[in-house]
Structure 1
Amino acid sequence: MSQRSISYSTWTSPHQHQLNAPEHKTGPNFLSALTFPNVLTRCWLARNESGNDDDDDERQTLLSPSATVPSTVTERYGSCIEILHYGTHSCVRLYARKSSAGHPKQLHVIKVLRRSSNAFVRATHRFEQSLSSAVSHPNLLQTLDVLQNDRGETCLVMDYCAGGDLNTLIATSGPLLDASAANCFFKQIMRAVAYLHENAIAHRALKTENILLSARGAVKVADFGDAEWLRDDVTHGIRAESRLRLQLSSLYSPPRKMVGSMPYLAPEELNDCAPVDPRAGDVWAAGLVYMAMRCGRLLWRTPCADDDGGYRAYLWGRQTYDGYPPIEGLEETHCRNVIYAMLHPDPTRRIRASEVLRSEWVYDVRVCDAGEMGQ
């Protein structure tokens, strides 16, 4: 399996994934004592009607340990050794800090949010900073530190995931990813998605490139740049109502726009209809991520029957006795049923993330120790 290998013990022992080299240790989690709603309350304040952003710097330093421990990015995390991604409003870099003799370098990933005069971009950056710092789940990539570089740009510091991203693993794992490994990864993904959804957050950018892996095979769902907080949510249970809607009612959420990678986009995003709960789009994308793991490819380029023959074939297959061949090729009946339910074209009839976890198929999937602990 190229440079990555996945090995399993006997059925009675917890399985393990070995992906690339052992993961490097990171620095302390400066935010471990802060809870999800408390951090958002402190850092994601409502903008006033005039749109005045004079207090941006004050908001951004609330989370940053640099407010009490003066330090530069270089002093704390070393030097940049690689640019992992270069986008319009941000870039992602790998930093390495020298360690003592006999110990490996300490690696961190730093997402640099560029300064912008655009109010929407600034609001999106503040939201991403607050949310990525506040999440607390073993399968979500959390921001460990926030500070500014010498250009005055906000830097979000995260763990380095030595296993790479799921897209690369699929591309280098031979004909197909092992079904047991795919199921393990999928359950971890759905746990992360369900956690966000229960807290009235839609990720809105789920794809294989945004699903990272530790060296031992723990899933880390990353990139909250397109996430949306549903402040008025009353549809997903008491937990979301009590923890966020009542406590965080004064917070500001960037306006919604169509986001996401086109092959993972839900069909309702392309329709001129009444707004729907964007969490349904996350479930759709997660279903396509699972199929990418099992098929080694994307099922279609765009979820539009008029423009894409692959998607048209899927809609036809759903209505026939023989079904849609890629899904019918999955071994377990319960697995096929869940994937069909996740990829229901009607978002109001699509299964929810919490229901996926409770399904007979996913409930019985064994997750490796690394995935359970997020290590």
Structure 2
Amino acid sequence: MSGDTFLAELGYKLGKTIGEGSYSKVKVGTCKKYRENVAIKVVDRKKAPPDFVDKFLPRELDILRGIKHPHIVQVFEFIEVCNGKLYIVMEQAATDLLQLIQNRGHIPNHEARHFFSQIACAVKYLHERKIVHRDLKCENILLTEDMQVKITDFGFGKKIHSSPHLSSTYCGSAAYAPPEVLMGVPYDPKKYDIWSVGIVLYVIVTGCMPFDDSNISKLPKSQQKGVVYPENVHLEEKCQSLIQELLQFSPTERPAAHQIVKHAWVRDGK
């Protein structure tokens, strides 16, 4: 019996593909027991390398089974099929943050604060539970029809069992990775997330990337110089201050997630 036939017997119907990775696809789906459309991530274990199947995938599943937060994508169920495919059924979003920014150029301060405060709350929730994401980027921040944030894709996520904990795995996207990761030194994965959140905030409010990532070897030097802002974008001083704090070259100088949600710019919207 094929995986799709098995799903059909469970009441699911697969639709078009809305995302694709190296070893997985994300499809729109419907099911009688859920009122709304769902997203179904189809993972093909047979196509994936052993490192993914034995290390990263089990970590992702372990994290997804144990988290529940209004700004993290909700997983409804996991369906294992004997042909090596795994179906992860989750809530469907309307778009993602990158698409929204590409469509609109950049996001005004009051809206940017709305999105960022939800991102920061979700990261705080994860870090308090000793979970790190390590691939926070605009593409992995989904948006519902009523513009609520849903963080997704925990493929590089992991649980950390000691503090301070240092990781050595190079993962994520170079454009959102902090200098210590790009330089190949052991790093604090929580501070990795904080840097990535800083990049996300910069992109939200300016519509462009803060650093040129076309030459990875030169990127840390550029990061050390700090960010400049496009002349056509007006930012509140408090917002610029927060970005500067998040994008500190030294990881120990970056704030913790629980400090970010208390920042003056974030709290101005409350």
Separation in structure 1 between the aligned mates of residue 130 and residue 140 of structure 2, nearest angstrom: 20
The answer to whether 1:193 aligns with 2:97 is no
Matches within 5 A, 1:174-253: 175-233=105-163
The answer to whether 1:96 aligns with 2:30 is yes
Q: Is the 8 A contact 1:314 1:324 kept in 2?
A: no
**CA 327–279 in structure 1, closer or farther in 2 if over 3 Å, else same:** farther
Runs of 4+ in 1 over 6 A off after TM superposition: none
Pick from 67, 81, 86 the counterpart of residue 154 of structure 1: 86
1:314 Cα deviation from its structure 2 partner: 5.7
Q: Is the 8 A contact 2:37 2:92 kept in 1?
A: yes
**1:17 corresponding residue in structure 2:** none
Q: Is the 8 A contact 1:196 1:202 kept in 2?
A: yes
Q: Is the 8 A contact 2:78 2:86 kept in 1?
A: yes
Pick from 103, 111, 128 the counterpart of residue 41 of structure 2: 111
Amino acid at match of 1:126: P
Q: Which has the higher strand share?
A: 2
Q: Is the 8 A contact 1:89 1:114 kept in 2?
A: yes
**CA 315–91 in structure 1, closer or farther in 2 if over 3 Å, else same:** same
**1:136 corresponding residue in structure 2:** 68
Cα shift readout 1:191-221 (whole Å, capped 9, x = no counterpart): 1111111111110000000000111111000
1:233 Cα deviation from its structure 2 partner: 2.5
Separation in structure 2 between the aligned mates of residue 213 and residue 233 of structure 1, nearest angstrom: 32
Choose 1 or 2 for highest CA Rg. 1
1:256 Cα deviation from its structure 2 partner: 5.2
Matches within 5 A, 1:46-61: none
Cα shift readout 1:170-206 (whole Å, capped 9, x = no counterpart): 1112x42222111100000011111111111110000
**CA 77–194 in structure 1, closer or farther in 2 if over 3 Å, else same:** farther
**1:297 corresponding residue in structure 2:** 208
Amino acid at match of 2:148: A
Please state whether the residue corresponding to 1:136 is helix, strand or coil. Answer: coil
**1:145 corresponding residue in structure 2:** 77
Cα shift readout 1:269-299 (whole Å, capped 9, x = no counterpart): 02243x2211111111111111111111112
1:72 Cα deviation from its structure 2 partner: 3.4
1:303 Cα deviation from its structure 2 partner: 9.5
**2:249 corresponding residue in structure 1:** 345
Separation in structure 1 between the aligned mates of residue 191 and residue 234 of structure 2, nearest angstrom: 23
1:329 Cα deviation from its structure 2 partner: 5.5
**1:282 corresponding residue in structure 2:** 193
Cα shift readout 1:31-73 (whole Å, capped 9, x = no counterpart): xxxxxxxxxxxxxxxxxxxxxxxxxxxxxxxxxxxxxxxx932
Pick from 88, 97, 121 the counterpart of residue 52 of structure 2: 121
The answer to whether 1:270 aligns with 2:270 is no
Separation in structure 2 between the aligned mates of residue 87 and residue 289 of structure 1, nearest angstrom: 21
**Structure 1 unaligned blocks of 5 or more:** 1-70, 236-254, 367-375
Please state whether the residue corresponding to 1:113 is helix, strand or coil. Answer: strand
1:315 Cα deviation from its structure 2 partner: 3.6
The answer to whether 1:83 aligns with 2:14 is no
Task: Give the CA RMSD over aligned residues.
Answer: 2.8
Indicate the percent of aligned positions where both proteins have the same amino acid: 28
The size of the alignment, in residue pairs, is: 263
Separation in structure 2 between the aligned mates of residue 187 and residue 113 of structure 1, nearest angstrom: 32
Separation in structure 2 between the aligned mates of residue 280 and residue 84 of structure 1, nearest angstrom: 31
Q: Which has the higher contact order (CA 8 A, sep 6+)?
A: 1
Q: Is the 8 A contact 1:114 1:154 kept in 2?
A: yes
What's the TM-score once normalised by structure 2's chain length?
0.86
Pick from 95, 101, 110 the counterpart of residue 170 of structure 1: 101
Separation in structure 1 between the aligned mates of residue 70 and residue 122 of structure 2, nearest angstrom: 8
The answer to whether 1:362 aligns with 2:266 is yes
**CA 128–346 in structure 1, closer or farther in 2 if over 3 Å, else same:** same
Separation in structure 2 between the aligned mates of residue 267 and residue 145 of structure 1, nearest angstrom: 37
Separation in structure 1 between the aligned mates of residue 73 and residue 15 of structure 2, nearest angstrom: 21
Q: Is the 8 A contact 1:201 1:229 kept in 2?
A: yes
Matches within 5 A, 1:16-31: none
**Structure 2 unaligned blocks of 5 or more:** none
